[in-house]
């Protein structure tokens, strides 16, 4: 990622400002503790793994022995803890982690922290901010109302996720403009791969008009990837893009959120779409969601989401049956999914200012290229403590 090297002096400069010993640093703890039981009438995928850690899709019908049996688990791994360090009115940093590992079905002491956000913010003025680090992508920035915080409606209409990037934010009254240069993905292996060998970062822009829970916006992201193949050159070059529109609206004491997107090969860069391209072909998809939360009184609230994602050129999708030898777990980046629909409905009740109990029912309808349909119901119930 040669162009991103030029961002290093900026990151180092901001980090030096944040580490100045001239005054005490104010620390603020943030996050939540989420604990409870999860059950399903048949097996589901959590980003490709057959477990209940963070359900995102159904398993295909007739896939494995016992897949059509009920499954239950107790989960605490979606618990999320963060620490904000405020150096002065212009400089702050934030680190956030949870305990999710999709390769661990029902862990206890085996849970380990997973870094979600690690960033530094520097305000040039009241209307201009520089953010450097790992943070939410500025593409498709809206989230749904759900207690499945990690699974969300990802791969079923909600596409934006985390990215290592540098973001410039400009505010002009009710108009907010954001521009970003970012890594074209993540690589948790020991050696460099396609993303490190690609010459271009991601280029993203987002515009939003409004304030608080009343705003509309659009966003776009693009890049070009080098994907290894068997040619004399050693790689194929594939274009990447995403376009989205989003909005939030207060309705009485409640709110609704919506988002639609279209993309090509965007899953290759870490976004949670279905458009996973290969050296031989590009994959394109569309998706979106509608979500809302509505208080019934001071203690009770209803919430729900309906979302879907579908591949436009379904013939280009890899077969799920060829992804892993046993197919017990599908590679999360090549799921073989052509369409995924997720519908959720839940209720919560405040027991105190910070503590609530919740119950959420989810229905997943998932179509695989070579397995046909899968459908599952999931119930998630437990306690939620805000920090």
- Under DSSP, is residue 267 helix (H, G, I), strand (E, B) or coil? helix
Closest C-alpha among 362, 360, 305, 315 to residue 336: 315
Both structure tokens of 108: 């206890």
What does the pLDDT read at residue 66?
Answer: 57
Does the reported pTM lie above 0.85? yes
d(CA 259, CA 106): 32
The per-residue DSSP string of 129-161 comes to EEEEEEEE-SSS----S-S-TTTTTBTTTB---
In this structure, are residues 322 and 354 in contact, taking their beta carbons and an 8 Å threshold? Answer: no
Distance CA 343, CA 146 (A): 11
Burial letters 175-192, b for 16+ CB under 10 A, else e: ebebebbbbbbeeeeeee
Instruction: Tell me how far apart the alpha carbons of residues 200 and 183 are, in angstroms, rounded to a whole number.
Output: 9
Nearest to 105 by CA among 51, 64, 148: 51
Q: Judge whether 13 and 213 are in contact, CB under 8 Å.
A: no
State the CB neighbour count (10 A cutoff) for residue 270.
22
pLDDT of residue 376: 95
Cα separation, 359 vs 346, in Å, equals 6
Distance CA 279, CA 318 (A): 12
Q: DSSP labels for 5-21?
A: HTTHHHHHHHHHHHT-T
| CA dist., res. 340 & res. 291, Å (int) | 16
Mind listing the domains of the chain with CATH numbers?
34-72+141-386 (2.40.160)
| pLDDT tens for the chain, residues 1 to 387 | 554 445 545 544 554 544 455 578 999 999 999 999 999 999 899 998 989 999 999 988 765 555 668 999 999 999 999 999 999 999 999 999 999 999 999 999 999 999 999 999 999 999 999 999 999 999 999 999 999 999 999 999 999 899 999 999 999 999 999 999 999 988 888 888 888 888 899 999 999 999 988 999 999 999 999 888 878 888 889 999 999 999 999 999 999 999 999 999 999 999 999 999 988 899 999 999 999 999 999 999 999 999 999 999 998 988 766 544 444 444 444 468 999 999 999 999 999 999 999 999 999 999 988 777 889 999 999 999 999
Residue 187 CA, chain-centre distance (Å), reads: 16
Gyration radius of the chain's alpha carbons: 21
**Sheet of 44-46, strands arranged across:** 49-50, 44-46, 57-58
> How many whole angstroms separate alpha carbon 229 and alpha carbon 238?
12
Q: Residue 232, class by beta-carbon neighbours within 10 Å (0-12 exposed, 13-18 middle, 19+ buried)? A: exposed
Q: Which residue has the tokens 């271009």?
A: 200
pLDDT at 146: 98
Question: Pseudo-torsion of CA 362, 251, 136, 55, nearest 10°?
Answer: 0
Q: Phi then psi for 11, rounded to 5 degrees?
A: -60, -40
Say how far apart CA 55 and CA 193 lie, in whole Å.
Answer: 28
Distance of CA 304 to the CA centre of its chain: 18
Cα separation, 153 vs 362, whole angstroms: 10
């Amino acid at each position: 990622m040669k162009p991103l090297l030029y961002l290093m002096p900026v990151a180092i400069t901001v980090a030096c400002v944040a580490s100045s010993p001239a005054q005490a640093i104010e620390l603020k703890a943030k996050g939540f503790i989420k604990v409870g039981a999860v059950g399903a009438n048949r097996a589901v995928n959590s980003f490709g793994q057959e477990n209940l850690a963070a359900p995102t899709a159904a398993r295909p019908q007739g896939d494995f022995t016992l897949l059509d049996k009920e499954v239950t688990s107790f989960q605490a791994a979606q618990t999320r803890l963060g620490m904000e360090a405020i150096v002065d009115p212009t400089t702050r940093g934030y680190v956030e982690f949870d305990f999710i590992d999709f390769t661990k079905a029902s862990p206890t002491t085996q849970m380990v922290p997973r870094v979600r956000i690690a960033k530094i913010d520097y305000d040039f003025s009241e209307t201009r901010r520089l953010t450097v680090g790992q943070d939410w992508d500025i593409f498709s920035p809206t989230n749904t109302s759900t207690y499945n915080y990690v699974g969300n409606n990802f791969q079923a209409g909600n596409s934006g996720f985390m990215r290592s990037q540098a973001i410039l934010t400009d505010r002009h009254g009710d108009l907010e403009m954001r521009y970003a240069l970012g890594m074209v993905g993540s690589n948790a292996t020991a050696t460099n791969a396609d993303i490190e060998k690609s010459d271009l970062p991601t280029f993203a822009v987002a515009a939003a008009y409004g304030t608080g829970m009343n705003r509309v916006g659009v966003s776009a992201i693009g890049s070009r990837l080098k994907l290894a193949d068997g040619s004399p050159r050693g790689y194929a070059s594939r274009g990447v893009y995403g376009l989205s529109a989003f909005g939030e609206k207060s309705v009485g004491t409640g709110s609704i959120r919506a988002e639609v997107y279209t993309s090509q090969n965007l899953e290759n860069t870490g976004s949670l779409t279905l458009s996973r391209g290969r050296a031989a072909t590009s994959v394109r998809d569309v998706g979106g969601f509608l979500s809302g939360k509505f208080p019934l009184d001071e203690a009770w609230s209803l919430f729900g989401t309906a979302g879907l994602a579908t591949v436009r050129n379904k013939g280009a999708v890899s077969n799920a049956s060829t992804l892993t030898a046993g197919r017990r777990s599908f590679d999360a980046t090549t799921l073989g999914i052509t369409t995924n629909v997720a519908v959720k409905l839940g209720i919560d009740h405040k027991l105190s200012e910070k503590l609530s109990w919740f119950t959420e029912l989810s229905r997943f309808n998932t179509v695989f290229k070579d397995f046909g349909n899968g459908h599952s119901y999931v119930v998630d119930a437990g306690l939620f403590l805000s920090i």
